Amino acid sequence: MDKYRVKPGTRVRLKDCDPDDTDGYKKGDGISKKIEKTELAVNQLQELLYAEHKHGLLIVLQAMDTAGKDGTISHVFDTMNPQGVRVASFKAPTPEELSHDFLWRIHEQTPSKGEVVIFNRSHYEDVLVVRVHNLVPKAVWKRRYAIINNFERALADEGTTILKFFLHISQDEQKKRLQERLDDPTKHWKFNPSDLAERKLWPDYMQAYEDSISATSTPWAPWYIVPSNKKWYRNLVVASTLEKSLKALNMHYPEPVDDLSKVVIE
Ligand code: AMP
Ligand code: MG
């Protein structure tokens, strides 16, 4: 799964990243068992993160519409203990949020020790949608890469593990998924006509994603470009990456306050 990690300093070209890639795995092939096993392992590691109370975990999900941010959240994080997990969704900023620096609303939502927080969209919108729609001058969004790297560095130094996932789908796959939303009355609520306007800006978004990911994949906050045309494979990649990163924290259950071997329960 490490092959999806963007090495710091490399120039990303999304055209070279196949959204259909499944690394030779096929659906069937006992893949649901493998995903289940991975998710169970993640669940146990999350329990340990909560108990140890030393690290926070921040997961950033960015993607084009329909690429599966919601689906990833419900599948991969379903198995976690809700006591230690929170989702923060970032919409277009309110007037109050806009009157502050772009990280103001973000910092507030970052995980405390022991906590897992999933960002459904994030501060990256401030170099993506904001750039594509010219909401601020180029000089402003350009310098945000460095601001973001410094911010994430500070979080990491203070004990937050950061993993950033770009869920990569093709434009054809998006067409299919938007059509499914139109065809299924239970999905109409998810259909937003403005998604069609954004879809027209696909090349601009790809350019913005390439530049952002290239500039901000760092040793302390790496990006993963997750092939996401196949939902099961997307879930497998995200779950496996979580498992590996949590394992690497080498966590331990805290020592009991007293010598428990002497405790007698009357
Ligand atoms: P959704 O995630 O589909 O509910 O849509 C949220 C919308 O908020 C998307 O269209 C985002 O592009 C938009 N959004 C999120 N953050 C920002 C931001 N910082 N500036 C402008 N628009 C944003
Ligand atoms: Mg949407």
The pLDDT tens digits of the residues spanning 72-128 come to 999 888 889 999 999 999 999 999 999 999 999 999 999 999 999 999 999 999 999
Atom of ligand 1 nearest to the CA of 122: 16
Let me know if residue 259 belongs to a domain.
no
CATH assignment of the domain containing 220: 3.40.50.300
* Residue 211 CB partners (closer than 8 Å, separation 6+): 127
Atom of ligand 1 nearest to the CA of 91: 8
Separation of alpha carbons 67 and 64, rounded Å: 6
How many domains does the chain contain in total? 1
Please give the average per-residue pLDDT across 131-151, as a whole number.
Answer: 98
Residue nearest to atom 20 of ligand 1 (CA): 92
The three-state secondary structure class of 18 is coil
Share of the chain above pLDDT 70, in %: 100
Q: Which of 125, 147, 148, 212 best tests ligand 1's pocket when mutated (most atoms within 8 Å of CB)?
A: 125
Let me know if residue 254 belongs to a domain.
no
The pLDDT tens digits of the residues spanning 15-71 come to 999 999 999 999 887 899 999 999 999 999 999 999 999 999 999 999 999 999 999
Let me know if residue 189 belongs to a domain.
yes
As residues whose CB is below 5 A from the ion ligand 2, the structure lists 65
Separation of alpha carbons 38 and 34, rounded Å: 6
**Residue 98: which domain range?**
2-247
pTM of the predicted model as reported, rounded to 2 decimal places: 0.96
Residue 168's nearest CA partner among 200, 135, 210 is 210
Let me know if residue 256 belongs to a domain.
no
Angle at the Cα of 126 from the Cα atoms of 98 and 7, rounded to 5 degrees: 150
For ligand 2, the distance from its centroid to the CA atom of residue 184, given in whole angstroms, is: 16
Let me know if residue 177 belongs to a domain.
yes
Angle at the Cα of 70 from the Cα atoms of 215 and 196, rounded to 5 degrees: 75
Let me know if residue 261 belongs to a domain.
no
Let me know if residue 263 belongs to a domain.
no
Separation of alpha carbons 60 and 164, rounded Å: 5
Let me know if residue 262 belongs to a domain.
no
Give residues (CB < 6 A) around ligand 1. Answer: 90-93, 121, 125-126, 129-130
